Amino acid sequence: MVWAKRILAEHGAFKAEVDAVRSGITGTLQLGTVPTASTTASLVLLGFCSAHPLVKVHILSRLSATELYRRLRDFELDTAIVHAAPDDAQDMNLVPLDQERYVVLSASDMLPSGSSTLAWPEAAQLPLALLTAEMRDRQIIDKAFADHAITITPQVETDSVASLLAQEAAGNWACVVPHTWLWTSPLGAEIRAVEMVDPVLNADIALATISAGPRSPIVRALAASARQLTLNEFFDAQLSSVTHRR
């Protein structure tokens, strides 16, 4: 069945190429993203959609990286924002976007007063709400705890970014999340963010397309737009601003 999907994808890419020559880039972009990169997707799309106002975008944002890579290979998605793990991405073209670092979001009274960082063993003492086990960020977080000989059992697990943030906002749980969420997270006197250290982890996020498949004008234009972004600078500035807030 994959060969049939590839033929259809190639036909669609050819038709889109002809349409782009006639009237500019049009059509619908099928974009997948791991849940933790769903807020990053809006920044990736901002300049692209401004430059190509006739393009529509359909986003799927609650799939694991493994499932996103499968859908790319089956030509069910045009592109995806994923963790750039070498084992998964051998047949992919990757445009680097940013590096995730990790923070704890929680009620202020759960965290050490005046501190902008927290070690993993300290975080293990908090009541945690985390993403579900099949999510790549959860696997990275679990390994960080395991490297300290700690196995965590969160009381709440979810595959939804909105649900996870709601647990933290309720005040009963702390969440370990990428710092790329901070620019959309409501923080104030009652909610704080501190950076996870010992060690500081970095997870590469990239825009992926299958290298052997057809690349439509929409996908090429999105990749070109993504290469111009400087998301690390933006996210790191947000992290510095939030974690040093008193």
What's the confidence (pLDDT) of residue 54? 94
Q: Do residues 10 and 72 share a domain?
A: yes
Mean pLDDT value across residues 4-21: 40
Residue 245 lies in a domain: no
What's the confidence (pLDDT) of residue 244? 66
Nearest to 135 by CA among 229, 36, 7: 36
Residue 26 lies in a domain: yes
Q: Do residues 14 and 53 share a domain?
A: yes
Residue 246 lies in a domain: no
What's the confidence (pLDDT) of residue 6? 41
Q: Do residues 14 and 80 share a domain?
A: yes
Residue 242's pLDDT band, with cuts at 50, 70 and 90, is: confident
- C-beta separation of 103 from 126 below 8 A: no
Mean pLDDT value across residues 51-69: 92
Q: Do residues 89 and 108 share a domain?
A: no
Q: Do residues 120 and 62 share a domain?
A: no
What's the confidence (pLDDT) of residue 36? 87
Q: For residues 174 and 192, give the distance between their C-alpha atoms in angstroms, rounded to a whole number.
A: 10
Indicate the length of the chain as a whole number: 246
- Over residues 203-212, the pLDDT tens digits come to 999 999 998 8
Mean pLDDT of the chain: 86
65, 123, 159, 193 from 106: Cα distances, Å: 26, 11, 19, 7
Q: For residues 128 and 105, give the distance between their C-alpha atoms in angstroms, rounded to a whole number.
A: 10
Residue 242 lies in a domain: no
- C-beta separation of 194 from 113 below 8 A: no
Question: Is pLDDT at 2 greater than 50 in this prediction?
Answer: no
Residue 240 lies in a domain: no
Q: Do residues 91 and 112 share a domain?
A: no
Question: Is pLDDT at 25 greater than 70 in this prediction?
Answer: yes
Question: Is pLDDT at 237 greater than 50 in this prediction?
Answer: yes
- Over residues 121-146, the pLDDT tens digits come to 999 999 999 999 989 999 999 999 99
State which residues form the domain around 119. Answer: 102-197
- Over residues 212-234, the pLDDT tens digits come to 866 789 999 999 999 999 999 99
| 241 vs 86, residue with greater confidence | 241
| 199 vs 245, residue with greater confidence | 199
Q: Do residues 20 and 73 share a domain?
A: yes
